[in-house]
Amino acid sequence: MLRSWIPQQDVLGHPKIKLFITHGGLLSTQEVTYHGVPIIGMPIFGDQDLNIEMAERAGYALKIDILELTEKKLEDAIQEIIGNP
């Protein structure tokens, strides 16, 4: 199914969502916290780095440097989150 827009709150609230990959914007970080979904964060600019770092310190996020992103790093992060919810 292809859609130009999907309500993020509905997606994050779905019981089958296991993780959320995000740049770490404030609204997305707040929404994911509300729904209790773990994050893989790849901040790009602005407050995103701080948002992901705070989520990581709180124990519900893993941060990947976008400039060092590899398939292996992403796969490892996904496995870590799915294996340790």
Residues 6+ apart with CB under 8 A from 77: 40, 62, 64
Nearest C-alpha neighbor of 54 from the set 69, 43, 44: 43
The pLDDT value given to residue 4: 87
Burial of 53 (0-12, 13-18, 19+ CB in 10 A): middle
Cα 4 to Cα 78: distance, rounded to the nearest angstrom: 25
Length of the chain: 85
What token pair was written down for 80? 């870590």
Q: What is the model's pLDDT at position 3?
A: 81
pLDDT at residue 6 greater than cutoff 90: no
pTM: 0.86
Distances (CA, A) of 70 to 3, 7, 25, 30: 27, 29, 22, 27
Q: What is the pLDDT of residues 12-68, one digit of tens each?
A: 999 999 999 999 999 999 999 999 999 999 999 999 999 999 999 999 999 999 999
Domains for the chain: give ranges and CATH numbers: 17-80 (3.40.50.2000)
Does pLDDT of 85 surpass 90? no
